[in-house]
Amino acid sequence: MTDATQSAAHDAEGRYKLIARSLVRRRGRQARMKFYGMAALGFAFLMLAILVGSLLMSGYRAFTQTHVTLSVFVDPEEVKVERLPRGDFDDVLAASLAELFPDVDTGSRAEMRELSSILSNGAQFQLRDMIVDDPELIGTTVTVTVPVSDPFDQLGKGLVLRETPEDQRRVTDQQIAWFDALDERGAISEPFNWALFTHADSRFPELAGLKGALIGSFWALLVCFLISFPLGIGAAIYLEEFAPKNKISDFIEININNLAAVPSVVFGLLALAVFINWFGMPRSAPFVGGMTLALMTLPTIIIATRAALKAVPPSIREAALGVGASRQQVVFDHVLPLAMPGILTGTIIGLAQALGETAPLLLIGMNAFITSAASTPFDSATALPTQIFIWADSPERGFVSRTSAAILVLLGFLILMNGIAVFLRNRLHRSW
Amino acid sequence: MTTLSFAILLVVAITGFVLNRQAAYAIGTTGNRLHSIPWFHGLYSALTILVPAIVLVLVWLVAKDPIIDMIVMGGLPDEARTGLSDGETQLLLAEIKSIAGGRIFGEPEDWKLAAAERFASLHDISSIALVVVTALLAIVLLIITRKQVGREFRARQRAEGIIDRLLIFCSVVAIFTTVGIIAALLFETIKFFRMVPITEFLFGMNWEPQIPIREDQIAATGAFGWIPVIVGTLVITTVALLVAAPVGLASAMYLNEFAPRQLRAVAKPILEILAGIPTVVYGFFAILVVAPALRSAGQALGLDVSPNTALAAGGVMGIMLIPFISSFADDAMAAVPRSLRDGALALGATRAEMMVQVVFPAAIPGIVGGVLLAVSRAIGETMIVVMAAGLIASLTINPLDSVTTVTVQIVTLLIGDTSFDNPKTLAAFALGMMLFLVTLVINIFALRIVRRYREAYD
């Protein structure tokens, strides 16, 4: 072997080693990059899991409510037929509680108050409604199951630590002893919290429910749908099928795209200034909320409808035109029905967004404290997201879990709506 | 009464449809060839009745209350009317209305009772008049359209002409909305700048939107300089982007090139879930989990973390923006032509080098557009910051401190009862105007970048 070939072989070996080393480095870099990507994705999933997990953990407790079952002697002294629906129902309940604990001094007001604070403020109204329905019950002993007040609900669910010093919790040692005694008698139960769906808002967590918010959201969404669906489809049909390609059409289109990106709180300002201040529409009304949401949903529906119309193949249009249909007949009789699944999917997704929208509703006053459900869209009401906002702001412990529960209800509706949208898309989708 | 008007309208319109269709059909069966099929004659009648009558009802409903108010106020004795401020006029009107509604407090003066009576009677008259007028209009239109039915009548063109105009109206609503937003914001903002000089608003370093309750109050003037508010907004936006941009871009790159097909099919919808969660939920998450966690972490490190730290609000907002950035970046990278990727691989680049040195630079415009849209989202985002950020405007860029944002100020200034004649309320509109302008500029810019870029490779 000559020197030259030897050194060439040497060079080749060196280069080979160099390449091998750099390859290791480059592959390492690729592996690192893959890892970063997976880590990023993992971070996003982890956050979603923590979000949903923490809501479930704190929210599931609000789906049950601690109740106490009492035998109540409806004392004719306290409750008189002729005075109904008035009567001292709270005294009747307190007396029946005191009967269970002979060592309680019924003469001491302080002690009686401490004892009867176990019961929810709503208990007396439940008893009252029962007696008003059937006045015959006066003078007899009835068995009632009434909710306990929030601190005892927390105690029953084990959220109040008994080890904490007495002055740092909202229930006294004596009250805990009473509660435990009731529990031993089997008087304490924890049934499903129907009040969460059948009651409107209340200052007392154990009585607060979502009925008002659900109905308010329903009215707002209905108004939103009735306005944005026809307007959105009309606008999309015009822009996609009939509009001449000129500056005005371009301007409308840019306008719609920009509207889709305007911050939601600005729509709230619009509604406050125009609908409420200039037109004098009522504050807090789901009707006004629905109109505001409609303006926000409009771009979503227009964009979805245009995409759906575009997806209908030209052959359909040409065939219809060929047999003598007018351009409007082509659109309304042939293209639109075929595009309907796509339009409905887009509309439902738009409505789902509107259901979760909060900021504009705050500005038009749909965060008021309203204890009755709206019977028309013009009554004052809250909506589901604003109710969540109100409860999240409330200091009582019981509202923390109720806020989470309300969020779970909201998320449930969103999943349902999006599920319907996906179902429609998969079920009715036609490939041409 | 409104419901009754609509019911009457609907009945008349349906009658018109049926009558005209039958009339046209009758002409058709006599052997004459109709210009339009009977269905269009019916449609023409229904539309001609419905459109003007509905417009009439809506205009009536909007104009009714202000006109009645004007008549009632105009009918008041002069001595009761003169020298009233805007607020007092409103108060007087509210009192008259509540008397008219049967809620009488104390013993109102006779002229108030008279005004209330007039108010009530005007109300009754107007609702009856509405029904009568709509019914009359509808029936007149019904008769006119019925007379028009004929062999030569171009019902199809007429009906389609109306529909065409309705469609144009639908698409112009979007412009109305924009005009409405601009008008509302501009109007109130100008009022605000009459009370507070524009230079103080733009360059002032203090934001204390108080208004004096009494004239002689100490520190009564309040300050309306928006610098601390916009700085707070920028701090939170920066935190949000520092979370969202790396995570979003890394996951987009991974999903675009490296992820197995099955993982991609699962991961994209899961990311979309993050985008679909309402912001009020994120806000609650921030105060329930993230802020306490950051606070205890800060304590462990010996840092003083405010309970309303900008990190909590910004971080949670960042989580919300991950899918936003990731899907924009994914789309942008997917739009890079296959030939560029193949070229890079053929030269011996690893897939990572191809992504970083070829695909990513080629997709930069689309990615920048997406990130800009995310910035505009973050600036305009309301509920997370309302729930998790602070209320007090302090001029700081320390993300551990509590800062406030433009949207927080808008909401807190406008929650509760608002009157439109004090600078506190109007300041919210001035902030809204700035918010609208800033996001509008960013959006237009971002949409233009995205669109131009898309065209470059199509």
Question: Using an 8 Å Cβ cutoff, are A91 and A78 in contact?
Answer: yes
User: Residue B426: pLDDT above 90?
Assistant: no
Query: Residue B416: its pLDDT value, please?
Result: 65
Q: Is pLDDT of B455 > 70?
A: no
CA separation, residue B305 to residues A322, A384, B149, B229, B399 (Å):
72, 32, 79, 20, 9
Domains and CATH numbers, chain B: 2-167 (no CATH), 223-457 (1.10.3720.10)
The answer to whether residue A203 is domain-embedded is no
* Whether residues A138 and A251 fall in one domain: no
User: Looking at the domain assignment, is residue A346 inside a domain?
Assistant: yes
* Cα dist from A133 to A60, A86, A89, A127, whole Å: 34, 13, 14, 10
Residues A253, A388, single domain; the answer is yes
> What pLDDT does B30 receive?
82
Average pLDDT, chain B: 87
pLDDT bucket at B87, cuts 50 / 70 / 90: low
pLDDT above 70 for B215 = no
Is A234 found in the same domain as A162? Answer: no
Mind listing the pLDDT tens digit for each residue in A215-234?
A: 999 999 999 999 999 999 99
Taking an 8 Å cut-off on Cβ atoms, the answer to whether A261 and B267 are in contact is no
For residues A49 and A73, membership in a common domain is answered with: no
Q: Quick check: B267 and A41 CB within 8 A?
A: yes
CATH number at residue A258: 1.10.3720.10
State the pLDDT at residue B83. 67
Residue-level pLDDT at A303: 93
Do both A237 and A178 map to the same domain?
Answer: no
On whether both A53 and A71 belong to a single domain, the answer is no
Shortest CA distance from A257: residue in chain B = B447
Q: Is B125 left (phi over 0), alpha (psi -120 to 50) or beta?
A: alpha
**For the stretch B111-120, what's the b/e string if a residue is b when 16 or more beta carbons lie within 10 angstroms of its beta carbon?**
ebebbbebbb
Is residue B387 within 8 Å of B287, Cβ to Cβ?
A: yes
The size of chain A, in residues, is 432
Q: Looking at the partner chain, which of A26, A38, A235 has a beta carbon nearest the beta carbon of B170?
A: A235
DSSP A334-354: IIHHHHHHHHHHHHHHHHHHH
A38 touching B, CB under 8 A? yes
CB contact under 8 A, A392 and B410: no
**Same domain, residue pair A139 and A45:** no
The pLDDT value recorded for residue B217 is: 54
CB pairs A-B closer than 8 Å: 255
Residues A369 and A382 grouped into a single domain = yes
DSSP letters for A244-295: -SSHHHHHHHHHHHHHTTS-HHHHHHHIIIIIIIIS-PPTT-HHHHHHHHHH
Domain boundary, last residue among A45, A62, A79: A62
Q: Which residue among A29, A40, A392 places its CB closest to the CB of B247?
A: A40
Q: What is the CA radius of gyration of chain B?
A: 31
pLDDT (0 to 100) of residue A407 = 95
Contact B188 A43 (CB under 8 A): no
Q: Under an 8 A CB cutoff, do B181 and A270 touch? A: yes
- CB of A337 within 8 Å of any CB in chain B? no
Tell whether A21 and A145 lie within a shared domain: no
- CB contact set of B405 (below 8 Å; sequence gap of 6+): B229, B232, B233, B236, B385, B389
Q: Does A296 touch chain B (CB under 8 A)?
A: no
Contact assessment for residue A92 and residue A73, using Cβ atoms and an 8 Å cutoff: yes
Residues 350-409 of A with CB under 8 A from B: 352-353, 355-359, 362-363, 367, 385, 388-389, 392, 400, 403-404, 407
Q: What is the pLDDT of residue B454?
A: 66
The answer, yes or no, to whether residue B216 has pLDDT greater than 60, is: no
Can you give the pLDDT of all 432 residues of chain A as single tens digits?
566 677 777 888 888 899 899 999 999 999 999 999 999 999 999 999 999 999 999 888 889 999 999 888 888 888 887 777 777 888 888 888 888 888 787 778 888 888 888 888 888 888 888 888 888 888 888 888 889 988 888 888 888 777 888 877 888 888 888 888 888 888 888 889 888 898 888 888 888 999 999 999 999 999 999 999 999 999 999 999 998 888 888 888 888 888 888 999 999 999 999 988 888 788 889 999 999 999 999 999 999 999 999 999 999 999 999 999 999 999 999 999 999 989 999 999 999 999 999 999 999 988 888 888 888 888 889 999 999 999 998 888 889 999 999 999 999 999 999 999 988 888 877 776
Distance CA A335, CA A430 (A): 13
In terms of Cβ atoms closer than 10 Å to its own Cβ (0-12, 13-18, 19+), residue A337 is exposed
Say if the Cβ atoms of B276 and A277 lie within 8 Å.
no
Percent of the residues in chain B that have a pLDDT greater than 70, as a whole number: 93
> Is residue A205 included in any domain, yes or no?
no
The nearest alpha carbon in chain A to B406 belongs to A265
> Distance (Å, rounded) from C-alpha B200 to C-alpha B172?
38
CB contact under 8 A, A235 and B167: yes
Three-class secondary structure of residue B235 per DSSP: helix
- Same domain (yes/no): A106, A138: yes
A47 with A35, same domain?
yes
Segment 177-236 of chain A within 8 Å of chain B by CB = 230-235
Based on the domain organization, do A223 and A129 belong to the same domain? Answer: no
Would you say residue B99 has pLDDT above 60? yes
Task: Mark yes or no for CB contact B271/A295 under 8 Å.
Answer: no
Asked if B435 lies within 8 A of A265 by C-beta distance, the reply is yes
Looking at residue B1, its pLDDT comes to: 74
User: Which of residues 240 through 279 in chain A touch B, CB cutoff 8 A?
Assistant: 242-243, 251-252, 254-259, 261-270, 272-274, 277, 279
Is the Cβ–Cβ distance between B408 and B386 less than 8 Å? yes
**pLDDT per position as a tens digit, B167-204:** 999 988 888 999 999 999 999 899 888 888 888 888 88
| Cα–Cα distance, A115 to A103 (Å, whole number) | 12
Q: Is the CB of A265 less than 8 angstroms away from the CB of B284?
A: no
**DSSP code, position A103:** T
Chain B stretch 54-73, residues whose beta carbon is closer than 8 A to a beta carbon of chain A: 62, 65-66
**For residues A40 and B212, what is the distance between their CA atoms, to the nearest angstrom?**
51
Are the Cβ atoms of B167 and A238 closer than 8 angstroms? yes
Contact B178/A295, CB-based, under 8 Å?
A: no
Domain that holds residue A23: 3-62
Q: Which of A74-88, A213-227, B272-286, B320-334 has the lowest mean pLDDT?
A: A74-88
The number of domains in chain A is 3
The answer to whether residue A202 is domain-embedded is no
**What's the pLDDT score for residue A39?**
95
Inside any domain, residue A201:
no
Residue B212 confidence (pLDDT) above 60? no
Cβ contact B412:A268 at 8 Å: no
Q: Across the interface, which of A58, A255, A352 has its CB nearest the CB of B288? A: A58
Cβ distance of B289 and A37 shorter than 8 Å: no
Q: Select from A47, A62, A77 the last residue of a domain.
A: A62
Domain limit, last residue, from A62, A82, A110 = A62
Reply yes or no on whether the pLDDT at B220 is more than 70. Answer: no
